[in-house]
């Protein structure tokens, strides 16, 4: 492995190029497109009615619980991938380690299911 | 070893080095691929869906309507860029770029051909890098939904975010099976890697699917060197490909998982307030995501750019034949990717949208347990079979057979789950009808009802 | 010679940028802007890891912090009436500002003591066995070294982590059902 991390520099260049691309495209559109703002045009769209109240309203807490479950399982995924790469080498001991890890997490998931989290809407 | 070290040696040895040239070529291929990919896919989507629904689709602009999306792009550039009142200005302007930049950066992991990929060893963290980039898109979606000051946008953005994070988990877990197979195969005669250490680098995963021992017969070598369809991981883990693909549909918010942009309830979801070129950026990102999902599936399960002649021609070490081999590889890769994209369109034309009560349960109660089970099953099978002293191909065969059987089991489970959830959703209506049917029939007098009952 | 210079320059650029975005977290009036500024800070941290050659950790930093935890933050922040500007609300607990200031000074003092005396780095080197790890990274690569260290050396903490995660899930469910 001569230059393992040089690839990330190139990836960063691509990321920056993505931003530059949007800037170029929007400024080109700014040059070409008409600018004719009226009060009605700047209203938010609510199926043709004049919008009532602020759009920043409270929404169900279900989203929050899904996000927390996601964080838990995302951490889990990182460990599973690190295990999967060397799982042949870790052999039986490593398998039981990850087995109990997964079983414990699945118990958490089962609990969440029995509590009715997945019935969210 | 350090990042900056490499950068400096690059700069010192002159910016016009061979490696940098390789990067420039890759960069151009990626940009051309992203830009033309969206144009081609939009047209293909309209044409294929028209064909499936027995319509004509676009026919007026250019021959057979082939220039329709080009005209659409020019139209989008000329549209007014409206920024609605009371929107959060900074986030509203920023979110299209936050959406599309990770998509373009995610293309960096893809090896398009033996030459057209990032120089050096590529990105060693391949799969994880791709997932990390696609998880930044969620932030952009929430930003767009929140900043638009629109109720549809907010609900659409949050729904999209919840859906994307939920389906991201089985998406990664489905790929873990392939990583485990590389760990099993690494170090075996002819296979890359050493010391039974697997890989998550996409470049190496392609090599794992193209191991051919030279026979000396030039015709056989030409066709099969680096192109061995019987080693593709789809044969060993077909169920994981299907689950990965389903999650890819949900990640890109495409039908039947397009609840966040369900026209009939949320107008256009988080892009409701966007117009003109910023709206186009979101759609470019979405189609870019679609090609990435297809490309990753191609690389992990279908051998990537492998095809007859690629490895043979590039192995000759003659520049002209190397160029031909790379172009061939690019063609094979793009054909495979677009075939998978055509499946995306086919699915959209075939399946109705999921109901919101099915959406989350499908991810958390069906996909995640199945993918976790697959990981444990693959590990247990390998330990059992290698413990018995049997060779690796027995393990591969047994895993493949079980996985193909599980694929049909999966289809059966999904069918049952659809029926069960639909019954539960319709239960109130069915009960009401049953109650109505138990009320006694009206007594008849001379063939007509005795008296008209009053409506409740 | 020049390469170390470039490393130092890039480090300071990163340091200034990450400090600026971290300041943005507490300066922005709008909570959503603060959260996005925090995402930027976490991305800069990932770049620091990359500069140290820890590729896997850098990508995991993006995946877990910028991708997962910050989505959770954004959900919470956009849910809690984000339009009310903080400046208009009078702080009901005046005294906690003084305590916060004292604790902040103490934290800076303790950290700079550890930094300048080098106590922390020495103990970390001996406990985690960085020498053998760096050797493993050189010979086998980043992720493999991470996995081997995790599953051979830290098997028990690893299992405890799963319990910790489950406790977090249970806590979320309990709090989620109360409201």
Rounded CA separation C103/C111 (Å):
12
Burial, B53: exposed, middle or buried (Cβ in 10 Å; 0-12, 13-18, 19+)? exposed
Average pLDDT over residues B215-228: 76
Give dist(CA C113, CA A61) in Å, integer: 44
B444 beta partners: B449
Chain A residues near residue C143 by CB distance under 8 angstroms: 81-82, 85
* Tokens representing residue B194 in the block: 């050493």
Give Cβ neighbours of residue B447 (< 8 Å, ≥ 6 apart): none
What is d(CA B90, CA B146) in angstroms, rounded to the nearest whole number? 12
**Whether the predicted model's global pTM rises above the 0.95 cut:** no
Backbone angles phi, psi at B296, to 5 degrees: -65, -40
Q: Chain A: nearest CA to B339, how far in angstroms?
A: 26
Strand, coil or helix: A4? coil
Report how far residue B139's alpha carbon sits from residue C36's, in angstroms, rounded to the nearest whole number.
9
CB contacts < 8 A, A to C, total: 127
* Mean residue pLDDT across chain B: 81
Residue contact C83–A54, C-beta within 8 A: yes
Q: Which chain C residues are within 8 Å of B95, Cβ to Cβ? A: none
| Residues of chain A contacting C76 with CB distance shorter than 8 Å | 64
Which of helix, strand or coil describes residue A50?
coil
CB-CB under 8 Å, A7 with B123 = yes
Q: Is residue A119 part of a domain?
A: no
Query: In angstroms, rounded to a whole number, what is the distance separating the alpha carbons of residues B247 and B164?
Result: 9
Q: In the complex, which subunits touch B with 3 or more CB pairs below 8 angstroms? A: A, C
Average pLDDT of chain A is 78
Residue with tokens 């493993």: C136
Residue C165 in any domain: the answer is yes
Q: If 0-12 CB within 10 Å is exposed, 13-18 middle and 19+ buried, where does residue C117 land?
A: exposed
Residue A86 falls inside a structural domain: yes
CB of A19 within 8 Å of a chain C CB? The answer is: no
From chain A residues 25-54, the ones with a CB under 8 A of any chain C CB are 54
* Whether residue C113 sits in one domain with residue C139: no
Total number of domains in chain C: 3
CB contact under 8 A, C176 and A65: yes
C69 and C108 inside one domain: no
Structure confidence by residue, pLDDT tens digits, A90-112: 778 888 888 888 888 888 888 87
Q: Do C173 and C111 have their domain in common?
A: no
Cβ contact B3–C51 (<8 Å): yes
Instruction: Please give the Cα distance from B250 to A119 (Å, whole number).
Output: 18
Amino acid B120: pLDDT: 58
Closest CA–CA distance from residue B358 to any residue of chain C (Å): 20
Predicted pLDDT at C123: 52
pLDDT recorded at residue C106: 93
Q: How many domains, in total, are found in chain B? A: 1
Chain B residue nearest residue A63, CA to CA? B162
Of C6, C62, C140, the CB nearest to B4: C6
Q: Which segments in chain C show pLDDT lower than 50?
A: 1, 124-130, 179
Same domain, C38 and C76: yes
Evaluate whether residue C61 is within a structural domain.
yes
From C46, which residue of chain A is nearest by alpha-carbon distance? A8
DSSP structural state of residue B449: E
- Name the token pair of B244: 């990965």
For C60, which of B4, B9, B128 is closest by C-beta distance?
Answer: B128
Residue C24 lies in a domain: yes
Nearest to B97 by CA among C36, C61, C49: C36
Range name among A45-49, B374-378, C62-66, C101-105 with the lowest pLDDT average: A45-49
Residue B167: is its pLDDT beyond 60? yes
Task: Decide if the complex's ipTM is over 0.90.
Answer: no
pLDDT in tens, B383-419: 888 888 888 888 888 888 998 999 999 999 888 888 8
CATH code of C25's domain = 1.20.120.1200
The two counts, helices (H) then strands (E), for chain B are 16, 2
Q: What share of chain A is helix, strand, coil (3-state, %, to 5)?
A: 65, 0, 35
Judge: B8–C140 Cβ closer than 8 Å, yes or no.
no
Mean pLDDT, residues B368-389: 88
CA distance B266 to chain A (A): 10
B86 touching chain C per CB within 8 A: no
Taking the C-alpha atoms of residue A31 and residue C64, their distance in angstroms, rounded to an integer, is: 40
Q: What is the pLDDT of residue B442?
A: 63
> pLDDT-based confidence at B447, cuts 50/70/90?
low
Q: Are residues C179 and C136 in the same domain?
A: yes
CATH of residue A20:
1.20.58.1610
In a shared domain, residues C135 and C163: yes
Look at B67-81, B173-187, B424-438, B441-455 and tell me which has the smallest mean pLDDT. B441-455
Q: CA A79 to CA C52: how far, in whole Å?
A: 21
Report whether pLDDT(A1) > 50: no
Least confident range of B55-69, B181-195, B407-421:
B181-195
Distance of residue C8 Cα from the nearest chain B Cα, in angstroms: 9
Same structural domain, C10 and C62? yes
Same domain, C151 and C115: no
In a domain, A1, yes or no: no
Contact flag B276-A89 (C-beta cutoff 8 Å): no
User: What is the count of residue pairs from A and B with beta carbons less than 8 Å apart?
Assistant: 252
Q: Report if residue C91 sits inside a domain.
A: no
Q: Please state the domain count of chain A.
A: 1
**Residue C142 within any structural domain of the chain:** yes
- Does C12 map to a domain? yes
Q: What is residue B170's predicted lDDT score, i.e. its pLDDT?
A: 92
Q: In the numeric block, which tokens belong to residue C57?
A: 């950790």
Chain A hits for B30, Cβ within 8 Å: 14
Asked, for residue A47, whether it belongs to a domain, the answer is yes
Domain hosting residue A69, numbered range: 6-114
Tell me the residue range of the domain where B198 lies.
12-425
Question: In sequence order, which residues have a C-beta less than 8 Å from that of residue B20 and are 6 or more positions away?
Answer: B10, B119
What single-letter DSSP state applies at residue B61?
S
With CA atoms as reference, the chain B residue closest to A36 would be B80
Give me the domain span that covers residue C169: 129-179
Q: What is the pLDDT of residue B352?
A: 84
* C92 class by beta-carbon count within 10 Å (0-12 exposed, 13-18 middle, 19+ buried): exposed
Q: Is C88 domain-assigned?
A: no
Q: Is the bond leading into B256 cis (omega within 30 degrees of zero)? A: yes
Phi, psi values for residue B448, rounded to 5° = -120, 155
Position A97 in a domain:
yes
- The yes-or-no verdict on residue B257 having pLDDT over 80 is yes
Specify whether C121 is located in the same domain as C162.
no
Pick the residue of A9, A13, A25 with the most B CBs within 10 A to test the interface with B by mutation: A25
């Amino acid at each position: 492995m001569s230059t393992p991390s040089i690839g990330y520099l190139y990836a960063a260049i691509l990321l920056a190029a993505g931003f530059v691309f949007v800037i170029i495209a929007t400024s080109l559109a700014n040059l070409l497109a008409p600018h004719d703002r009226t009060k009605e045009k700047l209203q938010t769209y609510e199926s043709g009615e004049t919008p009532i109240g602020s759009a920043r309203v409270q929404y169900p807490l279900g989203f929050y619980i899904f996000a927390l479950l996601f964080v838990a399982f995302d951490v889990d995924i990182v460990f599973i991938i690190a295990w999967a790469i060397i799982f042949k080498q870790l052999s039986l001991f490593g398998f039981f380690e990850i087995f109990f890890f997964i079983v414990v997490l699945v118990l958490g998931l089962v609990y969440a299911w029995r509590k009715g989290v997945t019935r969210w809407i | 070893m350090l990042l900056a070290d490499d950068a400096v040696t690059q700069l010192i040895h002159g910016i016009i080095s061979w490696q940098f040239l390789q990067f420039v070529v890759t960069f151009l291929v990626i940009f051309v691929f992203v830009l033309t990919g969206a144009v081609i896919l939009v047209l293909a989507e309209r044409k294929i869906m028209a064909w499936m629904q027995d319509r004509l689709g676009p026919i007026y602009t250019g021959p057979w309507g082939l220039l329709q999306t080009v005209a659409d792009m020019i139209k989008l550039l000329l549209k007014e860029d409206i920024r609605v009142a009371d929107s959060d200005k900074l986030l509203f302007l920023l979110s299209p770029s936050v959406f599309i930049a990770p998509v373009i950066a995610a293309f960096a992991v893809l090896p398009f051909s033996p030459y057209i990929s990032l120089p050096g060893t590529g990105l060693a963290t391949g799969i994880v890098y791709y997932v990390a980039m696609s998880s930044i898109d969620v932030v952009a979606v929430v930003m767009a939904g929140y900043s638009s000051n629109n109720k549809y946008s907010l609900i659409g953005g949050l729904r999209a975010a919840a859906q994307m994070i939920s389906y991201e988990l089985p998406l990664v877990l489905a790929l873990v099976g392939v990583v485990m197979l590389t760990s099993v195969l690494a170090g075996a005669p002819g296979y890359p890697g050493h010391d039974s250490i697997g890989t998550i680098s996409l470049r190496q995963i392609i090599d794992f699917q193209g191991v051919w021992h030279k026979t000396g017969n030039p015709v056989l070598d030409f066709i099969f060197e680096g192109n061995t369809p019987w080693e593709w991981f789809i044969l060993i883990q077909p169920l994981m490909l299907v689950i990965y693909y389903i999650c890819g549909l949900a990640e890109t918010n495409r039908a039947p998982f397009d609840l966040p942009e369900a026209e009939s309830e949320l107008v256009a979801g988080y892009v409701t307030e966007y117009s003109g070129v910023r709206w186009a950026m979101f759609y470019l990102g979405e189609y870019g995501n679609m090609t990435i999902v297809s490309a990753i599936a191609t690389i992990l399960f279908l051998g990537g750019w492998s095809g007859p002649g690629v490895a043979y021609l590039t192995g000759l070490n003659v520049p002209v034949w190397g160029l031909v081999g790379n172009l061939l590889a690019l063609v094979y890769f793009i054909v495979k990717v677009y075939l998978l994209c055509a499946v995306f369109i086919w699915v959209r034309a075939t399946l109705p949208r999921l109901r919101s009560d099915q959406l989350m349960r499908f991810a958390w109660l069906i996909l995640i347990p199945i993918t976790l089970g697959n990981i444990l099953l693959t590990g247990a099978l390998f330990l059992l079979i290698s413990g018995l002293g049997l060779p690796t191909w027995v393990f591969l065969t047994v895993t493949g057979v079980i996985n193909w059987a599980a694929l049909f089991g999966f289809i059966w489970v999904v069918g049952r789950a659809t029926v069960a959830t639909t019954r539960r959703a319709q239960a109130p209506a069915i009960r009401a009808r049953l109650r109505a049917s138990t009320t006694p029939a009206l007594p008849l007098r001379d063939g007509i009802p005795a008296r008209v009952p009053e409506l409740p | 010679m020049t390469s170390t210079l470039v490393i130092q320059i890039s480090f300071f650029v990163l340091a200034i940028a990450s400090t600026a975005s971290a300041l943005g977290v507490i300066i922005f009036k709008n909570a959503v802007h603060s959260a996005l500024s925090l995402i930027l800070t976490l991305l800069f941290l990932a770049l620091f890891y990359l500069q140290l050659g820890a590729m896997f950790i850098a990508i995991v930093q993006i995946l877990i912090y910028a991708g997962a935890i910050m989505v959770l933050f954004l959900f919470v922040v956009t849910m809690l009436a984000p339009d009310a500007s903080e400046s208009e609300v009078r702080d009901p607990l005046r005294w906690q500002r003084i305590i916060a200031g004292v604790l902040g000074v103490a934290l800076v003092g303790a950290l700079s003591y550890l930094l300048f005396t080098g106590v922390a780095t020495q103990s970390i080197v001996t406990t985690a066995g960085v020498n053998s790890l760096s050797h493993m990274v050189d010979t086998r690569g980043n992720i493999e070294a991470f996995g081997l260290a995790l599953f051979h050396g830290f098997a028990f903490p690893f299992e405890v982590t799963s319990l910790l995660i489950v406790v977090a899930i249970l806590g979320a469910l309990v709090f989620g059902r109360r409201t």
